[in-house]
């Protein structure tokens, strides 16, 4: 019996239910992954006992010498991973990393340009319901109406008209590679700083599968828990000369004491991402996404932008007369976890949506490859194309449970 089972069986029971859900289901949320045992161990380590406000060598409490060691290790590894000059690994999330960059570089009321949330952007890039949308004057660019990909000429024209102090690039539901150099050049032309949020594609950038914003954008932010396959948290990368302002913005500007157990786990994650096996993993994520996309298209499902270059596929369900919410619920009953998502030309609320976002990081971490993606794509097609047929949904669920059991999250999971 574990300490948790002994001391709090109620919480232990809930955690066990979640373990069962993950083991016997298929997680296709594009922003999720499965951490290694080493990352999990560091996350639950004794490092969580210490308050370590400040930075290595400049803490506000005694007894931080080993926390200095692990934070320096995390920063050094992250800089090596992305060929960056300076890293801050203290942000608790990607959103807080973004807020720290805003706080360090622009003033309330300043103009920023960012990708529309309904067309693939992120909440923290200036959505009206987010603090970023309340503090700054936000002008949103989107994708081309017909191609559903970014039109850099149109974005440049908008920048010339709006004269932003900051241009934000990066997305949470955009299935194509982003040209960070083009964004950097647009920002330079209009005298703006450029922030690239690579939270979703960090693993693809780190391994050279996608182009990098490090040398062409002023700041780069990321999470560590999506394609990077680490603990939940954020990080910021920038040039050495911009480091002091970023560090001051994170602490004391945005946060108090860092989560040192998470920083320790980030250090483990960054070491894993520097290995040859991780590059093979990232390459497989993209291969899997392309095969999944092709299979979904073969099941009469429309792909936004016609396909994918990264780890996710965005489906437009408008032709099927069903909502993203309905599809999410039906697939959930079948043991396939996805999320409803807005799409270009969206006409429904973000709580309902016309689209579905599907990603391959987690299933790839479980060892699934192209043949398995074909099977998963066929299951998704069966459910969506027979969404009112409970017998079909339950039949798929049984097949999913048997299938998932062959790809354990961890060797000792059953």
pTM of the model: 0.96
The pLDDT, as a whole number, for residue 414 is 46
Tens of pLDDT, residues 127-148 = 999 999 899 999 999 999 999 9
For the chain, give the percent of residues with pLDDT over 90. 97
Mean pLDDT of the chain: 97
67 is in an annotated binding site: no
350 is in an annotated binding site: yes
CA pair distance 355, 220, nearest whole angstrom = 28
pLDDT band at 412 (very low <50, low <70, confident <90, very high): low
C-alpha 261: how far from its chain's center?
21
The pLDDT, as a whole number, for residue 45 is 97
Structure tokens at 172: 């949470």
The pLDDT, as a whole number, for residue 252 is 97
- CA-based angle 58:63:64, to the nearest 5? 45
Tens of pLDDT, residues 176-201 = 999 999 999 999 999 999 999 999 99
123 is in an annotated binding site: yes
Structure tokens at 41: 């161990």
277 is in an annotated binding site: no
At residue 226, does pLDDT exceed 60?
A: yes
- Which residues are the active-site residues? 51, 53, 197, 223, 226, 232
CA pair distance 233, 255, nearest whole angstrom = 13
Tens of pLDDT, residues 296-353 = 999 999 999 999 999 999 999 999 999 999 999 999 999 999 999 999 999 999 999 9
In terms of Cα–Cα distance, which of 85, 65, 60 is closest to 75? 85
CA pair distance 296, 313, nearest whole angstrom = 9
Tens of pLDDT, residues 37-80 = 999 999 999 999 999 999 999 999 999 999 999 999 999 999 99
344 is in an annotated binding site: no
**Section 207-236 average pLDDT:** 98
- CA distances from residue 334 to 113, 298, 406 in whole angstroms, order as listed: 40, 20, 17
Full DSSP string of 99-162: HHHHHHH--TT-EEEEE-GGGT--GGGT-TTSHHHHHSEEEEE-B-TTT-SB-HHHHHHHHHHH
For the chain, give the percent of residues with pLDDT over 70. 99
Tens of pLDDT, residues 331-345 = 999 999 999 999 999
Using CA atoms in the order 122, 124, 130, 133, what is the torsion angle rounded to 10 degrees?
A: -100
The pLDDT, as a whole number, for residue 1 is 79
């Amino acid at each position: 019996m574990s300490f948790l089972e002994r001391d709090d069986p109620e919480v232990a029971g809930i955690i066990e239910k979640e373990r069962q859900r993950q083991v016997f289901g298929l997680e296709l949320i594009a922003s999720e992954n499965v951490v290694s045992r080493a990352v999990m161990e560091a996350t639950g380590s004794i490092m969580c006992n210490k308050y370590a406000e400040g930075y290595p060598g400049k803490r506000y409490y005694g007894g931080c010498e080993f926390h200095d060691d692990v934070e320096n290790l995390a920063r050094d590894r992250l800089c090596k991973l992305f060929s960056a000059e300076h890293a801050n690994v203290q942000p608790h999330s990607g959103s807080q990393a973004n807020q720290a960059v805003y706080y360090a570089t622009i003033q309330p009321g300043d103009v920023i340009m960012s990708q529309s949330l309904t067309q693939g952007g992120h909440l923290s890039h200036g959505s009206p319901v987010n603090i970023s949308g309340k503090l700054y004057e936000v002008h949103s660019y989107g994708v081309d109406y017909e191609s559903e990909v970014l039109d850099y000429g149109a974005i440049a024209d908008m920048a010339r008209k709006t004269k932003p102090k900051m241009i934000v690039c990066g997305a949470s539901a955009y299935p194509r590679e982003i040209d960070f150099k083009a964004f950097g050049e647009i920002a330079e032309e209009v005298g703006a700083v450029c922030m690239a949020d690579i939270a979703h594609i960090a693993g693809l950038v780190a391994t050279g599968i996608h182009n990098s914003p490090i040398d062409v954008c002023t700041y780069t932010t990321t999470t560590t828990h999506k394609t990077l396959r680490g603990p939940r948290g954020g990080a910021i990368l920038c040039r050495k000369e911009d480091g002091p302002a970023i560090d001051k913005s994170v602490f004391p500007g945005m946060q108090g004491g860092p989560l040192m157990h998470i920083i320790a786990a980030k250090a483990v994650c960054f070491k894993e991402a520097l290995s040859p096996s991780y590059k093979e993993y990232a390459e497989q994520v993209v291969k899997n996404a392309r095969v999944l996309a092709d299979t979904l298209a073969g099941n009469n499902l429309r792909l936004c932008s016609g396909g994918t270059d990264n780890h996710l596929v965005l489906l437009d369900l408008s032709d099927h007369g069903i909502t993203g919410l309905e599809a999410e619920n039906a697939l959930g009953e079948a043991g396939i976890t996805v999320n409803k998502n807005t799409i270009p030309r969206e006409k429904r609320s973000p709580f309902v949506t016309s689209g579905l976002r599907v990603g391959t990081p987690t299933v790839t971490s479980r060892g699934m490859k192209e043949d398995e993606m074909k099977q998963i794509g066929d299951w998704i097609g069966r459910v969506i194309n027979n969404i009112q047929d409970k017998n079909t949904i339950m039949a798929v669920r049984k097949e999913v449970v048997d299938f998932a059991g062959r790809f354990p999250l961890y060797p000792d999971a059953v």
